[in-house]
Structure 1
Amino acid sequence: MKRFSTILVLIGGFVGTAALPAQAQQQLSLPVMSPAVHVRQAFSTTFIDLKYSRPSKRGREVFGKLEPYGKVWRTGANSSTRIKFGEEVKFAGQIVPAGTYALFTIPDPKEWTVILNKDTSQWGAYDYKPDLDLLRVKVKPTVLTAPAETFSLMLENLQPEAADLVMRWDKTQLSVPIVADADARVMSQIQEAMKGDKRPYFNAAQYYYNTDKDLGQAVKWMDEALKQQPDSYYFSYWKGKMLQKAKRNAEAAEAARKSLELVKAEKSTPLREEYVRLNQQLLAEVGKK
């Protein structure tokens, strides 16, 4: 019995030793065929976040062959593509609450289906469940003059509250408009902030200027900002821009001259020269010297 146990121990030792080379193999760093991408884009008052993997064409015909027409596609490689909205948006005209969604598509020669699905944990589209769709929209593809070797999904044509989600691969391009409505949210923030001790006079004034709201109110806020920082050539310049937009040219010129006087104390030569140039340009635009 003792001899039998000894034999078992020896056999176990040989088995363990034989297994060691496999367990101790060095890991290799190999090229990734479909590298992962994470894009976080500031958008409206929050962001849009994209996570996907980028397959390449590598001599293959993609749509209709590699990715069949009429079949749900993960819109990339590996795990399903995910898109996250930091605030409510309209996706091709349909309301999408803030949150994370899986982005699927159904390729078609004439009209693709773009899908936002609530299940973000999938690998590929093998367990895709249409009953978890948040929405489906139809998008007409365009033909690229030069084929795109590597799949890309990007936010393009960025504006303060709008962007296009653009997909390109092989000879195909899709574009889905995304629009936010931040104005009500920003106006509510301004109203609430103006009740506090640290009132954002300059930021609120700039928002009114950029969105063509009450310029008289914007100028009043700039006056308050200048009471807090009377030596700010930057604030004086922007007060002049707001007065110019309100067609109060004589006052705009006065603000520009004040900014020119204040900027003389700026120690940074590039900044000083830049605001001398900007104020001189403002004076020329309002017809003053």
Structure 2
Amino acid sequence: MFAVSLPTSLYSPSLMKPLLTLCLAGSLCWLGAAELQAQQLRLPAMSPTVRTRQDFSTSFIELTYARPSKRGREVFGKLVPNGEVWRTGANSSTRIRFGEEVKFGGQVVPAGTYALFTIPDPKEWTFILNKDTSQWGAYDYRPELDLLRVKAKPRASNTAMESFSLGLENLQPEAAELTLRWDKVRVSVPIVADPDARIMAQIQEAMQGDKKPYFAAAQYYYSTGKDINQAISWLDESIKKQPSYYAYYWKGKMLQKAERKTEAAEAARQSLALVKNEKNAPTREEYTRLNEQLLKEVGGKKK
């Protein structure tokens, strides 16, 4: 026989019976107690998981990845070998999800979720979208499941980034750059959406219904350079239903684009008259400033 000193945190009636049973097996007693202790610990993640969802175009882009840190190590060429497929982060392979069809580095990608792998190289990186999203690391990577590969030029940064980072930069309504940063390396791939056909179909269908999106459709036509007279016509319909200072301001901007300056000035003055009743001071001040700037640009005067 031999005596075993049980850890204080495990010394409870509910645990005594299983632990004493293990004691009969000699060294298994301490191993079992240590394992139970470990299960109670919550330690900081060495490579914490990041999940981000960014509104993009008419849908979204989601990223799920783990962020390793340098911790005094040499990253590219040592910790992450050049010329080999990398999970692009830590732990499970990185995943990217597109809510609609996009072009990734100039190549068409259907909506869906993909594993994102890379092949680092001092002169030219390779970004890979792979259909197998359930992998741990890149140990079971299969190139036959690649959807595409695109090349990207890395850029050197003056400041070393301690933790790996992956995100969307230079975000525009229909374009962005997927940018990887770690240590002194920065590398990006362009992502471009083309939702115009879908939006135009939505507008056409909505205009047949009872609730016609006059204001939203007018703004889309204005921002994308489509028929400006049609946009003004829709905005007039919106104003008939609900006159507002913001609708008159946008009507003024559209009339300015159509080079109808006298009408643009009149729309700005109507907007100024209505915005005086706005209770929110910052909003009132902003639209006052915007309309005064519009009047200045079209050569109009306040009344």
TM-score over 0.5 for the pair: yes
Q: In structure 2, what is the Cα distance between the partners aligned to 1:138 and 1:28?
A: 43
Give aligned-pair identity as a percent: 72
The match for 1:185 is 198
Question: Residues 108 and 272 from structure 1, CA distance in 2 versus in 1: closer, same or farther, beyond 3 angstroms?
Answer: closer
The match for 1:288 is 300
User: How far apart are residue 29 of structure 1 and its match?
Assistant: 2.3
Q: In structure 2, what is the Cα distance between the partners aligned to 1:113 and 1:242?
A: 45
Moved more, 134-143 or 250-259: 134-143
Trace 1:38-49 onto structure 2 (pairs within 5 A).
38-49=51-62
* Residues 1:77 and 2:90 aligned together: yes
* Residues 1:95 and 2:101 aligned together: no
* Residues 1:245 and 2:257 aligned together: yes
User: How far apart are residue 263 of structure 1 and its match?
Assistant: 1.7
Q: In structure 2, what is the Cα distance between the partners aligned to 1:269 and 1:138?
A: 50
The one-letter code sitting in structure 2 at the alignment partner of 1:263 is V
The one-letter code sitting in structure 2 at the alignment partner of 1:94 is Q
* Residues 1:233 and 2:239 aligned together: no
Q: In structure 2, what is the Cα distance between the partners aligned to 1:193 and 1:279?
A: 30
How does the TM-score come out when normalised to structure 1?
0.92
The match for 1:5 is none
Q: In structure 1, what is the Cα distance between the partners aligned to 2:48 and 2:19?
A: 42
Match of 1:122 among 132, 135, 157: 135
Q: In structure 2, what is the Cα distance between the partners aligned to 1:151 and 1:32?
A: 14
Task: Give every structure 1 segment of 4 or more consecutive aligned residues whose post-TM-superposition deviation is greater than 6 Å.
Answer: none
SS in 2 for 1:224: helix
Match of 1:169 among 182, 186, 196: 182
The one-letter code sitting in structure 2 at the alignment partner of 1:279 is N
* Residues 1:144 and 2:150 aligned together: no
The match for 2:7 is none
The one-letter code sitting in structure 1 at the alignment partner of 2:292 is Q
Q: In structure 1, what is the Cα distance between the partners aligned to 2:36 and 2:184?
A: 46
How does the TM-score come out when normalised to structure 2?
0.87
Trace 1:259-270 onto structure 2 (pairs within 5 A).
259-270=271-282
SS in 2 for 1:265: coil
The match for 1:3 is none
User: How far apart are residue 16 of structure 1 and its match?
Assistant: 4.9
The match for 1:4 is none
Q: Deviations over 1:79-137 (max 9, x none)?
A: 00000000001111110000000000111122121100000000100111111000011
The one-letter code sitting in structure 2 at the alignment partner of 1:99 is G
Match of 1:60 among 73, 77, 80: 73
Match of 2:290 among 257, 278, 282: 278
The match for 2:270 is 258
- Which runs of 5 or more residues in structure 1 are unaligned? 1-10
CA RMSD of aligned residues (A): 1.7
Indicate if the aligned counterparts of 2:47 and 2:67 stay in contact, CA closer than 8 A: yes
The match for 1:217 is 230
User: How far apart are residue 14 of structure 1 and its match?
Assistant: 3.1
Give the total of aligned pairs.
278
The match for 1:198 is 211
Match of 2:41 among 15, 18, 28: 28
Q: In structure 2, what is the Cα distance between the partners aligned to 1:271 and 1:68?
A: 54
Q: In structure 2, what is the Cα distance between the partners aligned to 1:129 and 1:91?
A: 20
Q: In structure 1, what is the Cα distance between the partners aligned to 2:193 and 2:51?
A: 22
Indicate if the aligned counterparts of 2:268 and 2:295 stay in contact, CA closer than 8 A: yes
Indicate if the aligned counterparts of 2:83 and 2:119 stay in contact, CA closer than 8 A: yes
